[in-house]
Structure 1
Amino acid sequence: MQTDKSNTASDASSTVITGLIAVVGSDGTGKSTLTADLVKNLQKYRATERRYLGLISGEDGDKIKRLPVIGVWLERRLAAKSDKTQRMSNKPPALWAALIMYGFSVWRAANLRKVQRLAESGVLVISDRFPQAEISGFYYDGPGIGVERAKGWLMTRLAAREKRLYQSMALCRPELIIRLDIDVDTAFSRKPDHSYEELKDKISAMVRLQYNGSRIIELDAKAPYDEVLEKALNAISSVAMIPSRPQASLG
């Protein structure tokens, strides 16, 4: 199943970034595999690059590990803290953790600016994930501290500032968002190391996101992968300058 949602409820001051295609969805939908294969196929026709717009990719974690003295400890600590603090149902993070979370949000905003410049240079950019300001929680690519749970003067100020940062990022809309839909049982079968309840929660949140009125194409991630890839390529070809191309290549 494929659904095209052309939203109209966007902020009047928002800007569509021509040449930026975002792929979003819950864990288990195959975002990383799809974005890699999209780039491999589209590079045959125009300059195309993949960028990660989540919080910390595996590559970023490796960079943190290489920091002198504290690198390995810090990476493990941040990974543990991120898992415990990214859900709004949990208590607010410690102040030191909130400061680090805010720093990661600033890092994400800087990465988005780099992606925008890359797209404006004429490169077709395929992003894995995309920030949003509608639902709090790093788990959903939203603000991490959360104004809903912030306590104390300093953390409340920090959370409000982080929310404004995400609202600013949301003003930059991709030319197209490909949202991969999945049910919790299928997602859990693909990611058995994840919490079933957390997957269910994230799937529920992802389908509600409107990304500030961006055009969204919804694809069924349960379908055979070659069908998902072909439909994604067709959707991108409909908005980007892609010459006529043959069937998608998986290998």
Structure 2
Amino acid sequence: MLAAHLTQGLQLSTYLLERLQQKKIIFAHWKGNVHLLESLEGKTDIELLLRPKDREDFEATMAELNFKKAESAPWNRYPKVEDWLGFDEETGALLHLHTHYALIVSTSYGDYVPLPWEEQFFNHLTTDEATGWPIPEPAMESLILLIRLQIKGQNPAYKLHEVHQEKKQELLVLLSKTEADRFAACCAALQLQAPVDVAERISLILTKERLGDIMALSDFIYRQLPESIKSAASHHSPRALYYKYYLKTLKHYKPLVKPIRLKKRVETGGRVIALVGSDGSGKSTLSQDITSWLTYKIDTHYFYMGKLPFIKSYQTRLFSYTDLLGSRNLLARVSKKLIGNLYHILIIRQKAGMLKQARELRNGGSIAICDRYPQQEVFGYNDGPRLQDTPQSTFARLEMKYFEQALQTGADIIFRLIVSPETAHQRKPEHNFEDIRRKCESIKSMRFQSASPVTVVDVDADAPYEEVLLQLKRHIWRRL
């Protein structure tokens, strides 16, 4: 029955539910259950509440399903909250689990409010009819949501009207399923008092759908909370203030600096991943789609290693001095002609510097996706040396020096996209067939030897694009 309701993320989310139930782990998807199906499809986060005593069994389940533990950026870390990422083999979807070992309400940039009601919460669970997942009964979830609205509203960083509008429809759905006596019972379980006219208030909210009525009920509940909760809600730490302005200023100077980690890193470590292939193999489109897929949750940066190399970090193209030579204006054209062979030296020097940055990102747990990759085995094309006709010349020796520097850093994984000349030419009919044939053949012969260990994976790029993309995702996930 479950399979009939789920689409994307179906297999992995189903396996997750089954394994947790088999191990008799007590858990619940504790918030946002109006959008539970979207969470199980990988479109939003899965918010799991667990008991600390079940941590060992839960982490064993994560290992069985090949989930990977992730670490958030400093401004998104909260105590007793962990991040796990899973990969659905059938669809290529990433599932992101927020696992809470306490009821934690985030406020802003690492600030949070703990709610002391885990056991009461677990005592008010039901089963979602559409998915079979354990969730809080609507009365308890709506009560917690009303409290969360007030907690978040204590922070001036939030635009109250926007936050409340976002949650308004969710609350209306929950209250439409809530009976007044159940709402009062949940209040009593949390040692709170429901308003005597709670039935009329709920009816008014559902009839008029006014934010003012919602916030009046929310405020009635919030004023009864323990002072420790209200104090934590109104507390704004210096750290949160620092991260707030750090991220704001970053928007302005990011194009001028090195790639900066903004999202999660997988605890198993980062990777430098390169895609190589002839024209028509799909390497650039695949590189960009792989970057987008990973950037959904993992800190990932795009490195273009072609004729005018550059780095794109979170849709921002970082400054590259080689861009000045690639411009079509008169000054750039004259400059390129004047420097002659020095142009090729500048390009490979730039690539060597970029690969050094990629390795630094990798060592910090991030992922660098390289669209193309330098090689020393074939001269003149396929990103190989261009000045080796006279190997003893100064320019030739300097070029090979920078090639060696580039390859010393090395990629961890190189996907060699093997495509037939006929297929490649069909995709790129404007290119010379003989040039494409030569490039296709040379790609097969390259070994990409470097100072550090590298895994070379051959991929059949003649296959339909979606099949190739899914195959790459599977290879990458297994090697993270």
Q: TM-score, normalised by structure 1?
A: 0.71
Cα distance in 2, alignment partners of residues 187 and 67 from structure 1 = 28
| 1:55–1:105 CA contact under 8 A, matched in 2 | no
- The number of residues matched between the two structures is 200
Query: Which residues of 2 match residues 82-231 of structure 1 at below 5 A?
Result: 96-137=339-380, 139-146=381-388, 149-150=389-390, 156-212=393-449, 214-231=454-471
CA RMSD of aligned residues (A): 2.7
Pairing partner for 2:271 from 19, 28, 49: 19
Q: Structure 2: any 5+ residue segments left out of the alignment? A: 1-268, 311-316
Alpha-carbon distance change, 39 to 159 in structure 1, aligned in 2, over 3 angstroms: same
Secondary structure of 1:54's aligned partner: coil
- Offset at residue 173 of structure 1 (A): 2.1
The structure that has the greater radius of gyration is 2
Are 1:44 and 2:286 matched, yes or no?
Answer: no
Q: Which amino acid aligns with 1:212?
A: Q
Percent of aligned pairs with the same residue? 28
Are 1:34 and 2:286 matched, yes or no?
Answer: yes
Cα distance in 2, alignment partners of residues 102 and 130 from structure 1 = 16
Q: Structure 1: any 5+ residue segments left out of the alignment? A: 1-16, 79-94, 241-251
| 2:270–2:364 CA contact under 8 A, matched in 1 | no
Cα distance in 2, alignment partners of residues 45 and 203 from structure 1 = 34
Secondary structure of 1:134's aligned partner: coil
* CA deviation string 1:33-63 (max 9, x = no partner): 1111111212233111211122315987864
Q: TM-score, normalised by structure 2?
A: 0.39
Query: Which residue number corresponds to residue 53 of structure 1?
Result: 305
Alpha-carbon distance change, 55 to 119 in structure 1, aligned in 2, over 3 angstroms: farther
Cα distance in 2, alignment partners of residues 201 and 223 from structure 1 = 20
Secondary structure of 2:296's aligned partner: coil
Q: Name whichever of 95-104 and 120-129 sits farther off.
A: 95-104
Q: Which amino acid aligns with 2:372?
A: R
| 1:132–1:167 CA contact under 8 A, matched in 2 | no
Cα distance in 1, alignment partners of residues 414 and 372 from structure 2 = 9
- Offset at residue 136 of structure 1 (A): 1.9
- Offset at residue 206 of structure 1 (A): 1.0
Structure 1 runs (4+) greater than 3 angstroms displaced? 57-69
Query: Which residue number corresponds to residue 127 of structure 2?
Result: none
